[in-house]
Amino acid sequence: MNTRIIILTLLCLEVNFKVYATDQILQDPPAMQINRSSVLSPSDVNKKQKLSEASFTWDVRKIKSKLWNPATQHFDSVILRGYQGTNTSLNTPFVAPTIEIFPGETLKATLNNQLNNDPRSNQKIGADQTCSSEHMHTDQPHCFDTTNMHTHGLWVSPRDKSDNVFVSISPGTKFQYEYNIAEDHPAGTFWYHPHRHGSTAIQVGSGMAGALIIRGNRQPTANKTGDLDLLTKGFKERILLFQQIQYACYNNDGTIKTNSDGSYFCGHGDIGEIRDYQGFGAGNWTKSGRYTSINGEIQPLLTQAVAGKVERWRMIHAGVRDSINLTIRLMQHAPNKLDLTTQSEKKLLKENCTGPVVNQYIIANDGLTLKQIHEQPVTVLQPSYRYDALIQFPQKGRYCIINESAPASANVDRVNSERRLMAVVHVNAANPTSQTLTDALIEHANQNINLDMRKSVINDLQNNLKLSHFVPHPDLPQTPYKQQLEFNIDNTQNPPQFQIDGKPFQLGRVDRDLKLERTDEWTLTSKLASHPFHIHINPFQIIAIYDPNGKDVSAIDSIDDYDKSAAPDPQYRGLKGSWKDTILVKNVRGASYKVIFRTKYQRYTGDFVLHCHILDHEDQGMMQHIRISSPNDPQTQK
């Protein structure tokens, strides 16, 4: 038995908790080892030396691994697509490495596409048969092993070797990306994933996604805001990468094996895969019976938490098809041993995961710091959302991390979802020096904020936990320039047509030509179903979100509102004035919400896209080609 197994076994004995296997104690994703030309540690806040070049090479390949199946209480063998870097977990080798970079760096990342390898035989396979010329200009899924990379949420150039989603990397070839991270780029939680039109969903759904963290140590001044990392430095951090890996086992005729209730079945000797788009579509994730994984583990155990100690959770929804309604509850009557069969899980949720809710203190949306810490009992994550939350467990015990049920109208899978246990947290006894959240942040301000701004930062914290000295972007003013956008699925077409503004995506057609340095106000609606809107390069500021009755549901931010039965959807509370790069445009029984935001096209010209982040919708045409051009450029394409 190796050292890691011994340690994890002792941890299981310590908490008297039945874990299916010792490798289900949650670990952060592995860290990418990055080569840097600067010998100075970028985290040294007392030095002023400018950072320069950082580089690494990593592969994308098909990987043989395993995933726990709560329905059978066994691990299923799987072959998944995944990024592999310098550090790879033996237990979850398909989990992508976390990339950590710093403002002012130039990052050179060489992506080696080895998806033409066969992990069964360790032999190369032939050309990508789904990538024939007949598929190349269609909105039907294709080129499943051809890839590229999108740095989701980064404020970088969309051109050339930077965040260019029009790059296509065939199996057996390499491509070196080069990202110039501006010195004023916000620090925060971002992520990366493939974005090759036609294969995005199948690759992300197979596991190809990773955390991308920009670390910052810039001090706030009288004229500039600083980095929130200064206030959270020293808190225990956890990266929680949520994924819906909808693997299936296949019959000889290529159809998915299922149980009598329609859930997916894998028998002895079967290997789960994601071969094609059979499993994608409304309701299929829920029907499959699969569970959302966290860092590649299903229903893991989180350890090393201490009552009263503040933790920073970087939560990333890196999945395709499920809406996550995350709550944390104390187990009221935690059993000595926990056996999570499907029925016992339901019993546990009903009888034991019923204690007080642990409120989550949100400090950032989509990687961008809020003006004020927002306290809430449930955090709703739609595909591609990120939330940074401060978590403080009030007492020793075990806690349930739950994906709460949601009605079809609030779920991108378009069906009612049941409560699911996502993980369990074991919290050790309180430290005698435990503090309130406010006191803990003030202590960090005294330690890490320069003297000239320290009093102002502390005054903000004492005034309802404001973070005004750490918000990366100023408010955007009113503007006469307007943009309208409407999602729709036209079911009169065969196959159904996925549209924005009445048209599906067409390669080479520029749908919007927007001007550099201009601020636009956008209004988003949806004609059929709910869709998470995402735009590349420049984030946007929420101005208002109106429900079908005309009520601005983004303006409600009091935690007391959560307990009111007539309160609006909790996912929109407190978003007014915040910055994001993805927002759900909700449709309830044919009535659309109206999302209004403003955005400024700063610094970068070039071509990129906006789209629905239900990625099979994007692959089938729910996307637009955007161009940012100079105001003096006479050439404008419609």
Kindly give the pairing relationship between strand 587-588 and strand 591-592.
Answer: antiparallel
Domain end, chosen from 255, 289, 323, is at 289
Q: Give the Cα separation of 544 and 552 in Å (integer).
A: 6
Q: Give the Cα separation of 399 and 338 in Å (integer).
A: 13
Taking alpha carbons only, the member of 575, 531, 527, 568 closest to residue 550 is: 568
463 in the same domain as 395? no
Beta bridge partners of 361: 375, 390
Q: Is 454 helix (H, G, I), strand (E, B) or coil?
A: helix
561 in the same domain as 621? yes
Task: Please report whether residue 227 resides in a domain.
Answer: no
Task: Please report whether residue 186 resides in a domain.
Answer: yes
Say what angle helices 437-448 and 451-462 make with each other, to 10 degrees: 170
Task: Please report whether residue 558 resides in a domain.
Answer: yes
255 in the same domain as 178? no
Please state the length of the chain: 638
Q: What is the dihedral of CA 214, 532, 140, 212, to 10 degrees?
A: 10
CATH number at residue 367: 2.60.40.420
280 in the same domain as 351? no
| Both structure tokens of 77 | 């063998």
Q: Is 232 helix (H, G, I), strand (E, B) or coil?
A: helix
| Domain membership of residue 164 as a residue range | 19-219
Q: Give the Cα separation of 540 and 24 in Å (integer).
A: 38
Task: Please report whether residue 241 resides in a domain.
Answer: no
Domain end, chosen from 428, 463, 498, is at 428
Q: Give the Cα separation of 551 and 612 in Å (integer).
A: 24
Task: Please report whether residue 161 resides in a domain.
Answer: yes
164 in the same domain as 122? yes
Taking alpha carbons only, the member of 255, 301, 235, 276 closest to residue 13 is: 301
Q: pLDDT value at position 5?
A: 39
Low-confidence ranges of the chain (pLDDT < 70): 1-23, 38-51, 126-127, 132-138, 334-343, 433, 556-568, 633-638
465 in the same domain as 349? no
Q: Give the Cα separation of 296 and 80 in Å (integer).
A: 11
* Burial tier of 395 (Cβ tally within 10 Å: 0-12, 13-18, 19+): middle
Domain end, chosen from 414, 446, 473, is at 473
Secondary structure of 80-102 as H, E, C letters: EEEEECCCCCCCCCCCCCEEEEC
198 in the same domain as 61? yes
517 in the same domain as 372? no
Q: Give the Cα separation of 517 and 469 in Å (integer).
A: 24
563 in the same domain as 448? no
Q: Which amino acid is at 559?
A: I
Structural domains in the chain (count): 5
Task: Please report whether residue 12 resides in a domain.
Answer: no
Task: Please report whether residue 239 resides in a domain.
Answer: no
Taking alpha carbons only, the member of 55, 168, 179 closest to residue 115 is: 168
516 in the same domain as 617? yes
Q: pLDDT value at position 49?
A: 46
256 in the same domain as 214? no
Q: Give the Cα separation of 629 and 513 in Å (integer).
A: 7
Scanning 112-246, the segments in alpha helix (DSSP H) are 200-204, 229-232
Task: Please report whether residue 447 resides in a domain.
Answer: yes
Q: pLDDT value at position 2?
A: 40
301 in the same domain as 285? no
Q: pLDDT value at position 632?
A: 76
| Both structure tokens of 439 | 């006191």
Q: Is 473 helix (H, G, I), strand (E, B) or coil?
A: coil
Radius of gyration of the chain (CA): 24
Secondary structure of 238-282 as H, E, C letters: EEEEEECCCCECECCCCCECECCCCCECCCCCCCEECCCCCCCCC
